Amino acid sequence: MTDQQLLSGYVDVWWQAINDFTDLLEELGPEDWSAPTDLPGWDVKAVASHIAHLEGILAGNPEETAEIGDPEHVTGPMGLYTEIGVVNRRDADPDAIINEIRAAATARHTALVADPPTDGDARPERIFGGVPWSWRTLLRNRPLDVWMHEQDVRRATDRPGGLDSPAARHTAEYLAESLGYVLAKRVGAPAGTTAVLEMEGSASFAFAVTDAGRGERLPDAPDAPDVCLRMDREAFIRLAGGRCEPEPGTLLVDGDETLGKSILDALATTP
């Protein structure tokens, strides 16, 4: 697969995620927009405002500024940056936020289709917050961001669904790649330790800690790994996304239960 084909695939998944997200927002009643999400300090309107902000910047809108203050839930420079979009849309009408997302994403999608990036390692001309991402990293991350926030809204408003879409699979399998890092670096498992993730709807993800202390993905799952984590897709993205606890009965640890608990406790790799 060429870089252009890979990147175009990411664009397709992001575009569907945008449409799924805005369709969901259209369903909400006035009371839903103030419902708290799993993200500290953010309600549904804040989540939608965040997406509107980033998609607008990527579509070519000028960078925004705002007086953020010192909110308790904001940690780190990127948190300060993303709060700008939330603060600037506190008084915005929900329909205006939905229309802003659609307009920005449509403009950006049109541009990406007309002039698709061909080099995954190249730097985009426009990116938010000055993050030093390549085209590959940017386009791979956008479906994740949009879909994870779709799920935040669904949980906040009691509208389950959206777990079998292309963006759902993209996000879950993207996050699953971090299991080796969690096993080797966060948990500090010794060389030779093996862990397998059996996630509903995806092939197995198996990792072993190398002599150099790195979590290396294995081509096949070993017959008797030190630990095997079995869960459905929603349970995994709740944990890997640093959200709420999975529903009872959606997660099982086989093998070394202490190691399994350590992995689960360290699994959150994205805010």
Domain ranges of the chain: 3-164, 177-265
pLDDT tens figures, 105-137: 999 999 999 999 999 999 999 899 889 999 999
| Model confidence band, residue 14 (pLDDT cutoffs 50, 70, 90) | very high
Alpha-helical segments (H) within 166-242 = 166-176, 179-181, 233-240
Classify the C-alpha dihedral 132-135-137-138 as positive or negative.
positive
For 43, other C-beta atoms within 10 Å of its C-beta total 19
pLDDT band of residue 95 (cuts 50, 70, 90) is very high
Provide, rounded to the nearest whole percent, the portion of the chain with pLDDT above 70: 100
- Give the Cα separation of 43 and 45 in Å (integer): 5
What count of Cα atoms within 13 Å lies in the side-chain half-sphere of residue 224?
0
In this predicted structure, what is the pLDDT of residue 270? 79
Q: Is residue 24 within 8 Å of 114, Cβ to Cβ?
A: no
Instruction: Quote the CA–CA distance of 230 and 233 in Å, as a whole number.
Output: 10
The pLDDT score that the predictor gives to residue 130 is 83
Q: What is the mean pLDDT of the chain?
A: 96
Rounded distance between C-alpha atoms, residue 179 and residue 157, angstroms: 30
Mean pLDDT confidence for 252-263: 97
CATH of domain 3-164: 1.20.120.450
What are 178-236's pLDDT values in tens digits? 999 999 999 999 999 999 999 999 999 999 999 999 999 999 999 999 999 999 999 99
CATH superfamily assigned to domain 177-265: SCP2 sterol-binding domain (3.30.1050.10)
- Helix (H/G/I), strand (E/B), else coil: 200: coil
Residue 102 has pLDDT above 90, yes or no: yes
pLDDT in tens, 128-179: 988 999 999 999 999 999 999 999 999 999 999 999 999 999 999 999 999 9
Q: Between 94-114 and 44-58, two packed helices, what is the crossing angle to 10 degrees?
A: 30
pLDDT at 271: 65
Please give the model's pTM, rounded to 2 decimal places.
0.95
Q: Is the pLDDT of residue 72 over 70?
A: yes
pLDDT of residue 54: 98
User: Tokens representing 59?
Assistant: 């579509």
Q: Estimate the crossing angle of helix 166-176 against helix 233-240, to 10 degrees.
A: 60
Alpha helices in the chain (DSSP H): 3-27, 44-58, 76-87, 94-114, 135-156, 166-176, 179-181, 233-240, 257-265
